[in-house]
Amino acid sequence: MNRLFLRFFVLVMLAITVASFAVYFAVTRLFGDPLEQVALRQSSGEIFLLEEFVDKAPADDWLHRLNRVREISKSEFELIPLERAIDGMDAEHRIRLMQGGIVINIEQKSLMRRVDLNDSRYAGSSEDVIQVHNLPIAVGVEFRVEALRYLIVALFLLIPIAFWSRAHWRGLQHLSEVANAFGEGKLSIRAKVPEKASIFPLAQCMNDMAGRIEELLEAHRTLLHSVSHELRTPISRLEFGLELLRNAAKNPALDKRIDHLEGDVTELKELVEELLSLTRMEQQKTLDAKPFSLANTLLELTRQLEHEFSERNLSVDLAPGLDRNGNDIIGDQRLVMRAVSNLLRNAAKYSNSQVKLSVEEPAQDMVIIRVEDDGPGVPIAERARIFEAFYRVDSSRDKNTGGLGLGLAIAKKAIHLNGGYLSVGESRLGGAAFTIRLPWSGSTANSASLPEPGRN
């Protein structure tokens, strides 16, 4: 049952309960207590005997008739003093009794009425009340019938509400799924809601908004891509010009200046290349997916990065179930290598002395790759933002480490394109722990186990 329907259900039930009480009080006020009417109807036999047989007797025969009725009726007729009868009675009933009316008591299944108002039956008869006990009163059935009537009305009200809320609920769920997917980066996704649905205007607004955001992001990417692309030519010219200048100048004093300039140009070139990689990945719609061995890829990568760890200790810990010859990941090997390489380079930059690359035993079609270090770590408040392009935690911390602020953005994009996730947390080594989750297509149960990897 959907939440919308549940709320309506509770609301309708509450409304019906309140309505039945309102009806009961209104009817009681205008026409008298309906339950009393029912009880009077059910006691009509005894009332008939009293009014049509006993009361119609001549004055001197009245008591005699009453005794005869006592003998034949299943109910008990008795005479009690008026004073006792009105003791504890509410005002309305007391007035009725005093005026000679019938007062009925549903719980005690009894009724009372004054014998008469003017001592006409016998001496002091106006001070006596005739009380009839054991009347055949059973308002429970009437009450249940009434309750059943309200329940049936409520159920019939709930049927159209159920249909209505089901359609709404489905529509809202669809909108929330679309919003989630859009938030996760599927910018082309749009809500598909039939035109006659009541949430159609909302879905349309959402689609328009998504369209505008997609256009803006696309324009932003295109601009970044074009600018980076256009910068390549002047940078190459600068490199070439500096080379010519060095040859022409042949001046050791100028050489130092030229070295600095060349350093700046190289940095600029790296920035442009990184930006181009990122924008290309962001525009990439399909993946060049091929099966490859994760263990082999990571071991190859650590070999390539050996020089980065000349002053740090890199330990590699791959789960024994990983197969070096297996094709256990289906994706773009180059992009996975790029992501892990960016994380390892960062770890080398920010660690004090220890870096660890580990892969856990794959479970539930996912494999976890972790890059940890013993550096300063990433503060909790910064963890979501460090994956944004050009975002750097603390410029004073990053001053010495260099870097462009693009490495993590590229790594995250590369992992996303491969259907995985990248997140950051704390490491037991004391610094940051970057975790990659990738879809796993190999099995570990029957695969040959990997020889213990070499440790640096």
By CB under 6 A, name the binding residues for ligand ADP: 346-347, 350, 373, 375-378, 386, 392-393, 398, 403-409, 431-432
Helix (H, G, I), strand (E, B) or coil at 287: coil
Residue placing its CB nearer to ligand ADP in the complex, 49 or 432: 432
Buried b (16+ CB within 10 A) or exposed e, 145-179: ebeeeeeeebeeebeeebeebeebeebbebbeebe
Helix (H) or strand (E) holding 145: helix 139-183
Which of 252, 330, 243 lies closest to 289 in space, CA to CA?
A: 330
DSSP conformational letter for 190 = -
Is the Cβ of residue 139 or residue 411 nearer to ligand ADP in the bound state? 411
CA angle 276, 282, 285 (to 5 degrees): 125
> In terms of CB distance, is 277 or 346 closer to ligand ADP?
346
Shortest separation between residue 274's beta carbon and ligand ADP, angstroms: 9
**Residue 437 forms beta bridges with which residues?**
368, 421
Residue 254 in contact with residue 294, Cβ under 8 Å?
A: no
Q: Are the C-beta atoms of residues 113 and 82 closer than 8 Å to each other?
A: no
Alpha-carbon distance values, 271 to 227, 275, 276, 389 (Å): 12, 6, 8, 12
Q: How far is the CB of 393 from ligand ADP (least distance, A)?
A: 3
Dist. CA 154–CA 9, nearest whole Å: 9
Helical pair 139-183 and 3-31, crossing angle rounded to 10 deg = 150
62 vs 350 by CB, closer to ligand ADP: 350
Are 75 and 132 a contacting pair, CB within 8 Å?
yes
Q: How far apart are CA 142 and CA 30, in angstroms?
A: 20
Kindly state the DSSP code that residue 448 receives in the 8-state scheme. P
- Please say which residue, 326 or 375, places its beta carbon nearer to ligand ADP: 375
Identity of the residue, 99 or 396, whose beta carbon is nearer to ligand ADP in the bound complex: 396
User: Kindly report the CA angle at 385 between 381 and 390, in degrees rounded to 5?
Assistant: 135
**Cβ-proximal residues to 410 (8 Å cutoff; 6+ apart), any chain:** 274, 277, 278, 281, 338, 339, 342
Q: Minimum CB separation from ligand ADP for residue 401, in Å?
A: 6
Compute the least distance from the CB of residue 391 to ligand ADP, in Å.
6
